A and B are shown apart, each in its own frame.
Chain A
Amino acid sequence: MAIPIIYNVRSVKARWTSTIVAVVGVAGTVGVFVAMLSLARGFKATLVSSGSADNALITRAGATSEMTSGVSIDSVKIIQDAPGIARGAEGPLVTPEAVLMAPIPLLSTGTDANVQLRGVGPNVLTIRRNVKIIEGRMFRHGLNEIVVGKNAKATYSGLTLGSTIGLGSARWQVVGIFDAGGSAFDSEVWGDAHLLNGAYNRPDTFSQSVTVHLTSPAALQQLKDTLTADPRLNVDVVREIDYYSKQSTRMTQLITILGGFVAAIMAIGAVFGALNTMYSAVAERGREIATMRAVGFGGASVVFSFLFEALLISFVGGILGCLAVLPLNGLTTSTINFQTFSNLAFAFKITFDLLWMGVIFALIMGILGGMPPAIRAAGRPVASALREL
């Protein structure tokens, strides 16, 4: 026979101070756990969403990022005629890109941070279809004009529509703001590849990487085979989405290790808190428990009843923890991207399954914290417990 649930709800209410302590302990732990995971996920999602499955990125063989890569203009000419590359009205959908960095002051602190500058080809908007101009217009090739990602505009000073900024040895006018759907491109500034190379004293015969639009995602293998077999070329061909997800590994690893350790330690603390609360609940209710046993409730019912109480406390804590960090969802923050040394804006990403994991985490803490006291409650001899008090 089961002990009515209302008994547990009432006894939780009767000991509300120690209950609150246990609830806060669990809530804090779950909050940190969910916040850390959402941070790691948001960072990863930002980079992964930068790539698309039907684009391929071509770099010098062995390059770990665009920063250490270089593809000559002769190679670009060979690449653009390769099979598997889609064609638009103005020829093959290929954008040879120059990747540079410029120190620009942050709006928040006034100190410089590195913005990634990307010199792009004329076809770029047909190749990166997730990029849309939301204010102003696209820059014109051959002019000192730039377009700015929406996060870059919000992070750095002097990147608003219509303003002029010095980059390298030239001055540039901001003629448009683009939205790249929350991807890494949103933290970038784009301009004409030839002019940017010129402003940074770079030879115009090299680009850092070439991005091509494939006829279909499956065409990658064909393109890869053709390009890597060509003796005139020395390049790596990767799907754009893979390139970006690889860039996120070091930072997500860092956040996961740090966050995991902190959450694990806090979980032990929270279990201690729950144990303390439940042990004092059991101790204070010695006579009640004995009475219940005396009127015929079995040991299993008592264990279940106390376990339920612990789960109730941890469940409330878990829900509160999730609710407390929910406002973080979508909040944009920025950090350094280890692979490119440039600043990357990204948003906390709290998904339903993360909240779900948070609640399960809380319930596990509840079981660990509730089980030993529950067993002790059931194990006490009835007669002596009734005599005690």
Chain B
Amino acid sequence: MKFSRLILANLFRKKVRLILTIGSFAIALVLFTFLAVVKSAFSRGTEIAGADRLIVVSRIGLMQVLPISHADKIAAIPGVKAVTHNHWFGGVYQDERNFFPQFVIDPENQRKVMTELVVPDDQWNNFVKDRQGAIAGKRTAERFHWKIGDRIPIKTTLYGGNSGEFNLDGIYHSDKPGGDESQFWLQWKYFDENVPAVLKSTAGWYVVKLNSPDDAVRVAKAIDDKFANSSFETKTETESAFAAYFAKQFGNIELLIITIGSVVFFTLLLVTGNTMAISVRERTSELAVLKAIGFSGRAVLFFVLAESIVIALVGGFLGLTLAYLAIPVIGLALTGLLPPLILSKSLLTLGVGFALFVGAASGLLPGIGAMRMRVVNALRRA
């Protein structure tokens, strides 16, 4: 481009200002990405939920157990491919701060239903044979530096006097990006032998895999109808509805994030708009000279816009790079409190778009002013 040298020279006219403006852009982009990443972490469960899975819980409340005999009855309903059951274990590893979800699982059906959570076959076979076996998610295993073969003590109030020590037989990972790799799985049989009588032969909830996602509504209704008016009525929802139910209970986090985001956006627009306006104002006479020697109004607008867009892009890229480096660190500080923070490609693209938009918007106003200015007046003023 033949005017690139002119644009560059203009950019570097006030170095400190250039650095500060680019810095403001970078900061805003870091914030923007961070807020977007946190927001997606809060609603992660809903996004990754399998469309072909249903969750069956007790109608009267989440912490109420269901009899284990429901499993066969659910499996008999047409459209159901597989059924597995889970229990919330709620033990403590070393300290309450080391929270991770612990599920008592049904080894027979777990892998048929939770197909995206992958365990190598040899590890799985060891787990199935080992009544005190456990399988940890990759993230939890890495967090506590566990290796296969370690004995993991989990304090629990459920097992009466019996030990809550488990052998780590395997580590699972999720082959779906963003999947939950923090769970800790225990054997149902061992659980069933040790818990108090009220919890024997029970399941906390069932997970049902369907032949086809289109069947979800019909099968959910069939399950609830089957147990209606029994002493253990059920409530069946799709996995995403179930996850949304938890996400919603966080309250107005989404509103809060959007509010902060718009404050940041507005401030950024103001700051850069102001900086661009100042630098154009300072150069009124130069721009007038450009116009006087034959550059069109449009060319002048182009110079101003190009300058602000270059600043926006450089700042934007810098900010995204910073966010890319900082987010894993923050994610580490938040382990156990939030699902992993994931910076997706689409988010990065959105960030670049956002930077471009702000750059263009902040350059447009002073640029139009420069395009419209009358050469005679501007030259006389200087």
Pairwise interchain contact A254-B267, C-beta atoms closer than 8 A? no
Chain B residue with Cβ nearest A203: B198
- Give me 7 other A-B pairs in contact (C-beta within 8 A), A28-B263, A101-B63, A336-B250 excluded: A25-B267, A201-B231, A250-B337, A257-B333, A266-B264, A276-B24, A276-B275
Q: Mark B251-287, 1 if CB is under 8 A from A, else 0.
A: 1110000001001100110110011011000000000
Pairwise interchain contact B157-A68, C-beta atoms closer than 8 A? yes
Does residue A31 face the partner (Cβ distance < 8 Å to B)?
A: yes
Does residue A103 face the partner (Cβ distance < 8 Å to B)?
A: yes
Once bound together, how far apart are the Cα atoms of A21 and B20, in whole Å?
A: 14
Pick from A102, A269, A336: contact of B31, CB below 8 A. Answer: A269
Pairwise interchain contact A18-B249, C-beta atoms closer than 8 A? no
Chain B residue with Cβ nearest A276: B20
- Supply 8 A–B pairs (Cβ within 8 Å), ascending by A: A31-B263, A69-B157, A70-B157, A111-B244, A199-B60, A250-B337, A265-B31, A273-B267
Interface hits, B96-119 → A, CB 8 Å: 96-97, 99
Pairwise interchain contact B274-A200, C-beta atoms closer than 8 A? no
Binding site for A on B (CB under 8 A): 14, 16-17, 20-21, 23-24, 27-28, 30-31, 34-35, 38, 60-64, 90, 92, 96-97, 99, 155-158, 196, 198, 231-232, 235, 244-246, 248-253, 260, 263-264, 267-268, 270-271, 274-275, 277-278, 330, 333-334, 336-338
Once bound together, how far apart are the Cα atoms of A61 and B155, in whole Å?
A: 10
Does residue A356 face the partner (Cβ distance < 8 Å to B)?
A: no
Question: With a CB–CB cut-off of 8 A, which chain B residues contact A257?
Answer: 330, 333-334, 337
Question: With a CB–CB cut-off of 8 A, which chain B residues contact A249?
Answer: 97
Pairwise interchain contact A200-B61, C-beta atoms closer than 8 A? yes
Nearest CB of B to A284, in Å: 9
Pick from A70, A269, A276: contact of B267, CB below 8 A. Answer: A269
Pairwise interchain contact A333-B31, C-beta atoms closer than 8 A? no
Once bound together, how far apart are the Cα atoms of A231 and B34, in whole Å?
A: 53
Nearest CB of A to B137, in Å: 19
Chain A residue with Cβ nearest B279: A280
Nearest CB of A to B202, in Å: 11
Question: With a CB–CB cut-off of 8 A, which chain A residues contact B268?
Answer: 269
Question: With a CB–CB cut-off of 8 A, which chain B residues contact A280?
Answer: 17, 278
Pairwise interchain contact B60-A200, C-beta atoms closer than 8 A? yes
Interface size class for chain A?
35 or more
Pairwise interchain contact A254-B334, C-beta atoms closer than 8 A? yes
Pairwise interchain contact A114-B249, C-beta atoms closer than 8 A? yes
Once bound together, how far apart are the Cα atoms of A66 and B196, in whole Å?
A: 17
Does residue A334 face the partner (Cβ distance < 8 Å to B)?
A: yes
Pairwise interchain contact A200-B64, C-beta atoms closer than 8 A? yes
Pick from B20, B34, B252, B333: contact of A272, CB below 8 A. Answer: B20
Q: Which 6 A-B pairs have the closest CB atoms?
A: A336-B249, A269-B27, A335-B251, A254-B337, A21-B274, A101-B61
Once bound together, how far apart are the Cα atoms of A366 and B8, in whole Å?
A: 31
Nearest CB of B to A140, in Å: 23
Nearest CB of A to B23, in Å: 5
Interface hits, A6-43 → B, CB 8 Å: 17-18, 20-21, 24-25, 28, 31-32
Nearest CB of A to B230, in Å: 11
Pick from A21, A62, A258, A276: contact of B92, CB below 8 A. Answer: A62
Chain A residue with Cβ nearest B155: A62
Question: With a CB–CB cut-off of 8 A, which chain B residues contact A64?
Answer: 90, 92, 96
Nearest CB of B to A111, in Å: 6
Q: A103-B61, A276-B17 are in contact. Are A62 and B264 (CB under 8 A)?
A: no
